[in-house]
Homo-oligomer: A and B are copies of this chain.
Amino acid sequence: MEKLEVDPQSAAAAMPKRELPRTAKGRRTRQAILEAARICFDEAGYTGTRIQDITERAGLSLGAFYRYFDSRREVLLAILAEFFDSLYKSSRSPWRADDPGHSVRETTLLYLEGYSVNADLYRLAYETFLTDPDVNRIWDDARHMFYRRIERSLRRGQAAGLVRDDVDCALSAALLGGMAEQYAFSAFVVRSAGIAFDLAKVADEVSALWIGGVGSGGPN
């Protein structure tokens, strides 16, 4: 049943792939460019990064870039596509039906920690999604995969009598999921001074709000 999540329209699949370099040296160079680009984007932002900045950091000449990518944008997409793709794959935490609160806490904590570690990529996505339809799409796909997982949990909860019947699972999933997402945004992207809590505490609070918010008041 989980197979439905293997979206054939997945992020990476949609890229206009230029075939990978044949030699090992070429593959190493391509990788070096990607890594250098990620660092440059993090330091100076996407707009603030020139192609030459990337190649310089990678210890390459300017021209080398164009053997592997057509444009700065293509690097951006390669980086983000791979990242969002990895989210598809890695977002598997076991769900304990007997203890939803624990599961929510666990999932939320993992999510926040993952976000924190990759905050530079989220920042990159925020900087570019408005002007790049492809970024917008692959990111939104990832987001909805995340929401759909919550939605399925809510439905299971309704079936088990743990979740109120009047809850609209799709909408609530977006709202509940958005809670953690927006928190991460404020904390790790905006880096707002006003939002600096311990992640475990945040996960606890999210879990409490969630359970209370949708819970039937029945056995939880």
In the complex, whether A190 has a CB less than 8 A from a CB of chain B is yes
Rounded to whole Å, the gap between the CB of A101 and the closest CB of chain B is: 13
Is residue A15 within 8 Å, beta carbon to beta carbon, of the partner chain? Answer: no
Q: How many of chain A's residues touch chain B, expressed as a range? A: 35 or more
Closest-CB distance, A93 to chain B (whole angstroms): 20
A130-B45 in contact given A175-B205, A205-B172, A209-B213 (Cβ < 8 Å):
yes
Determine whether A86 belongs to the interface, using a CB cutoff of 8 Å to chain B: no
Closest Cβ of chain B: how far from A201's Cβ, in Å? Answer: 7
Residues of B within 8 A of A178 (CB): 178-179, 181-183, 185-186
Partner of A212, one of B131, B140, B182, B214: B214
Point out the residues of chain B lying under 8 angstroms from A48, CB to CB.
131
Q: Is the CB of A147 within 8 A of B205?
A: no
- Contacts A171-B201, A194-B147, A213-B210; is A131 near B182 (CB within 8 Å)? no
- Return chain B residues, CB-CB under 8 Å to A123: 130
Q: Does A40 contact B (CB under 8 A)?
A: no
Chain B positions within 8 Å of A131 at CB level = 45, 47-48, 127
Residue among A183, A189, A213, A215 with max Cβ neighbours from chain B (10 Å): A213
Q: What 1/0 flags go to A194-213 for Cβ under 8 Å of B?
A: 11010001100110111011
In the bound assembly, the distance between CA atoms of A189 and B178 in angstroms comes to 14
Ordered by A's residue number, 16 sampled pairs between the chains whose C-beta atoms are within 8 Å are A47-B47, A47-B131, A48-B131, A123-B130, A126-B126, A127-B130, A129-B190, A168-B201, A168-B205, A172-B205, A174-B194, A175-B183, A178-B179, A179-B179, A209-B213, A217-B217
